[in-house]
Structure 1
């Protein structure tokens, strides 16, 4: 069972990594996974929260930072060392199949911390802002999906790594948004 799941994951990885290869994705998708590329968006979220929500905005930002910290802690410090899954770009059996689009990194693969953190952010923001701005639902989910998909395309994660990260991150985002709603200040 586990062997067939692993084989399916490798085949799906190769269909994305090699099968969808094209110059446009080769240019775009490495950018989509780069945290510096998204820095203006993160800055906008901070400024928006502070400008629109004043004191409450500080609580939103604090809880958002806590959300990311929880995602990173659970995915990178707890689960990855336990699973100890080699990244596809470090898997010697795939060496002839790989297209090197970004540096590989030495850490483990399962779950994807990028997927965990971005789905956690997306779900948290959806639950905080959905009542006032409905378009956040598709925008945030598509944003997190693109970042997660990019991880597969560039060769640093298998599809199951990103799916597990998306589920973990979504759970974290939901949990921290519920905590925020319980403790938010009434200003």
Structure 2
């Protein structure tokens, strides 16, 4: 990474992790990145799609699971091991000032798998439901962005990690939505 971008990334990390610190975010942001918090949302999506769209809904859920699984595997297993960027809590420059609101984590930092997974889900669903329910798009994107922000706020990722993960996850979500549309050309949300 170019030195100027690395310096900007560290400065932005410090601003989010330190300067935005407050008691509400200190409680809320660790919750936002907790997968257990989102189980009701995931169950709602599954039940709604199968109830509303029957066989097409089951295929939609299968494609969504494949998109999230592909995003997770390629981000966590392939890209992170290739890039090997350390987390902020292990970075020689930032580790002394990091406010760790959750355990640091054992893996690498780039890209954020949370960002990749959640943007893959958000963009996949947005691509399929935007015509019938256009208001769902900003809600889904805000949800994914909030999880990304939480990753930086709690101290486990740099901003470039989450932005890159969001872009990569968005691409995956879009491609899998295109794949679903090819398999189900008559699907109308």
Q: TM-score, normalised by structure 1?
A: 0.96
1:135 and 1:184 map into 2 onto residues whose CA distance is 23
Asked whether the 8 Å contact 1:72–1:116 carries over to 2, the reply is yes
* Aligned residues: CA RMSD: 1.3
Structure 2 unpaired stretches of 5+: none
Residues 5-154 of structure 1 mapped to structure 2, 5 A cutoff: 5-154=5-154
The runs of 5 or more residues in structure 1 that have no matched partner are none
1:138 and 1:42 map into 2 onto residues whose CA distance is 18
- Deviation of residue 93 (structure 1)? 3.2
Q: Quick one: distance in 2 between partners of 1:78 and 1:163?
A: 18
CA displacement 1:47-75 (0-9 Å, x = unmatched): 10111111111001000000001101111
Question: Runs of 4 or more off by more than 4 Å in structure 1?
Answer: none
* Structure 1 residue 45: Cα displacement: 0.3
Q: TM-score, normalised by structure 2?
A: 0.95
Separation in 2, partners of 1:44, 1:84: 36
1:130 shift after superposition: 1.0
Aligned residues: 187
The equivalent residue for 1:164 is 164
